Amino acid sequence: EPEVTQTPSHQVTQMGQEVILRCVPISNHLYFYWYRQILGQKVEFLVSFYNNEISEKSEIFDDQFSVERPDGSNFTLKIRSTKLEDSAMYFCASSEVGTNYGYTFGSGTRLTVV
Amino acid sequence: AQTVTQSQPEMSVQEAETVTLSCTYDTSENNYYLFWYKQPPSRQMILVIRQEAYKQQNATENRFSVNFQKAAKSFSLKISDSQLGDTAMYFCAFFGIKAAGNKLTFGGGTRVLVKP
């Protein structure tokens, strides 16, 4: 079964450093997403991406965050200057265009900011 | 904006017994989809079951079934014949057809502990 792949599975970074979280969505999916889950809390939407541009973003997704699809397979989330409160599990997901049931999540990247 | 509420932070159940998790949501849309996701200790998000709002028949997936009450905006999950591997966080999620960006809105989760 096709999978969404995320790397790394765990990243530790110093406060103020830049991090890039990487994702390989399912190949025939055209919608890509990032979600965040702070430990013990609900899963929160960050951003969706379609046709090489941001489709929707939440209030969490401020100027410190950016997304990119640098080639035909990768989808990245960059945090420019990490803060302690950015520590969370970050999930990438992808879906087919306009669908609701083809939503597949990756296994997540645990980001720890120290 | 849509909201999803899971009023039970934690539930425990004996192995082989049945447990029901509640979920309510608020929306002004008529066409939407509802989901239950399972998050085991590995923290991966696994789709358990989904329900289309236009379908009156409740979805069933093996030991998992839902009770969808559209008028009441309620979407509960029943786990029958609970197994130790069902121990996990369970999240209810809403997807509105008109939602910008195709985003899912999640509830706060219910932790299920299956006891041997």
Most confident of A37-51, B14-28, B85-99: B14-28
Which residue among B43, B44, B103 sits closest to A56, beta carbon to beta carbon?
A: B103
- Euclidean distance between CA atoms B79 and A43, whole angstroms: 22
Q: Is A30 exposed, middle or buried (0-12, 13-18, 19+ CB in 10 A)?
A: middle
Q: What are phi and psi of A73, to 5 degrees?
A: -125, -30
Neighbour count for residue A98 (Cβ, 10 Å): 11
Q: What is the pLDDT of residues A7-50, one digit of tens each?
A: 999 999 999 999 999 999 998 888 999 999 998 888 999 999 99
Instruction: Assess contact for B16 and B81: CB atoms under 8 A.
Output: yes
Whose tokens are 């969370």? That residue is A88
DSSP code of A85?
A: G
Contacts of B43 in chain A (CB under 8 A): 37, 89, 107-108, 110
Query: Looking at the predicted structure, is the pLDDT value of residue B25 above 60?
Result: yes
Q: How close A6 comes to chain B (CA, Å)?
A: 11
* Residue A92, token pair as written in the block: 């990438």
Query: Looking at the predicted structure, is the pLDDT value of residue B100 above 90?
Result: no
What percent of chain A is predicted at pLDDT more than 90? 75
* Residue B97, token pair as written in the block: 């057809």
DSSP code of B42?
A: T
Average per-residue pLDDT in chain B? 93
Query: Looking at the predicted structure, is the pLDDT value of residue A99 above 80?
Result: no
User: B105 CB near a chain A CB, below 8 Å?
Assistant: yes
Residue in chain A lying closest to B47 (CA):
A104
Query: Looking at the predicted structure, is the pLDDT value of residue A98 above 70?
Result: no
Q: What is the pLDDT of residue A38?
A: 94
Q: Are B105 and A91 an interchain contact pair (Cβ–Cβ within 8 Å)?
A: no
* Residue A81, token pair as written in the block: 């200057």
| DSSP letters spanning B59-116 | PEETTEEEEEETTTTEEEEEE-S--GGG-EEEEEEEEETT-GGG--EE---EEEEEE-
Q: What is the pLDDT of residue A87?
A: 97
User: A39 CB near a chain B CB, below 8 Å?
Assistant: no
Q: What is the pLDDT of residues B33-65, one digit of tens each?
A: 999 999 998 888 999 999 999 988 999 999 999
Q: What is the pLDDT of residues A45-67, one digit of tens each?
A: 999 999 899 999 999 999 999 99
Q: What are phi and psi of A74, to 5 degrees?
A: -95, 150
